[in-house]
Amino acid sequence: MNMIDILTSGHSFSEEETPLKLKYMLFNLLLLSNIGFAFILFIIRIVQGEMLQMVMNGSYLLFGGITILLTRKDKAYFDTIVSVVILISYLFATAIFYYLFNEMAGVSWYIMLVIVAVIFKGRTAALNLFLLSVITVVWIALVHHHIPLGTVLTGLIPFLSSLFIIIVFDMFQESMRRLIEKQKEKYIQLSRRDALINIPNRAYFLEHFSQILEPIRNGEDAPGVALLFIDVDRFKSINDRFGHPVGDTVLMEVGKRLKSRLRRNDMVARYGGDEFAVIVSEVYSHLALRRMLDRLMTDMNRPFVVGDWRVDVSLSIGVVMIPQDGTDEVELLKEADQAMYAAKKERGNSYRFYQDIVEDQTSEHRGGHWAAWRAS
């Protein structure tokens, strides 16, 4: 077992549990340090023959060992274990301060507890423990050790440093939390974007598409949706003739022109290679959708100027209507792909609705049956 396994108590952590993993490692590091220090004191007290202090250090060693075993149990109990450790450590500190009155040792232990509390339990718990520790020190010093009030107040000065630590560390933790959340959000956004065109990628598109379909599958009253599957015609010849840098620029410009024709609630994504997928929301009629597609085709008829080159680009688009053509995302993508290839057979620069393809196939099938009946 390596050091990482010891500090994480042998647990495995997912990416979402990284903050818990760091807390486990810090907690175990503090615990092992205290156990090591208590063990050294335990040996010294044996040599010195100081029985009461030996019992106290031995008790803390036993308590530390039990705590290490408990941290290896279910991770769900970590917060409870920390609370118990803080409580029992407070009782140890009080016992040492009460029976073996030592200003530096006692106050230092209370300060350490306050620091542990702010790290693992937050500002409110640490402030409560801070107040409780101050009250305890004052009570023991004045009532049981009859120390002058001025001396007690002087001895409490170190507590001001722990209060400062509470405030500063909590501010630091909050700042780090915001930074981590910001970085996490940035990472999520980057993982959802296509690196070349800076539009949603295939993975995010499929996730969003599934979310769009969910209320429709549940029978909720929602406007129609259209799925467009788009392929750049003869894109390989563009790469072969002008080079891949020009081809990449063409893809970026196609993405921009697609976005310019879409509304805020619509979505265009790079599905892969020279293919794009588009979700058009709130489709109330075929006519309105056809007008949008016609305008899109007109946009694409304008040549793309890339450096010294003028590149002509056309698109083949397959169109699927939801829920008319179904609600299963896998089937819808297949249907959109079939409609796109039907558009390609028309030498590109066109769009085909999947419903039209089905009707054409049905008409051909009926025509074949009629011809066979006439011939019989």
Q: How confident is the model at residue 48 (pLDDT cuts 50, 70, 90)?
A: confident
- Residue 30 included in any domain: yes
Burial of 132 (0-12, 13-18, 19+ CB in 10 A): middle
Q: What is the CATH number of the domain that holds 320?
A: 3.30.70.270
Which one of 188, 219, 244 terminates a domain?
A: 188
Do 313 and 168 lie in a common domain? no
* Domain of residue 94, residue span: 3-188
* Residue 196 within any structural domain of the chain: no
pLDDT at 364 over 70: no
Query: How is residue 376 written in tokens?
Result: 């019989």
- Reported as a single tens digit per residue, the pLDDT across 231-248 is 998 888 888 888 988 999
**In the chain, how many domains are there?**
2
Q: Which of 128, 159, 188 is the last residue of a domain?
A: 188
Are 206 and 178 members of one domain? Answer: no
Among 142, 157, 188, the domain boundary falls at 188
Are residues 10 and 117 both part of a single domain? yes
Quote the pTM value: 0.54
pLDDT of residue 369: 45
Does 223 share its domain with 182? no
Residue 346, in any domain of the structure: yes
Is 36 part of a structural domain of the chain?
yes
Higher per-residue pLDDT: 29 or 228: 228
pLDDT digits (tens, 9 = 90+) for 148-196: 777 767 767 767 776 777 777 777 777 777 887 887 777 777 778 887 8
Tokens of 312: 């002509």
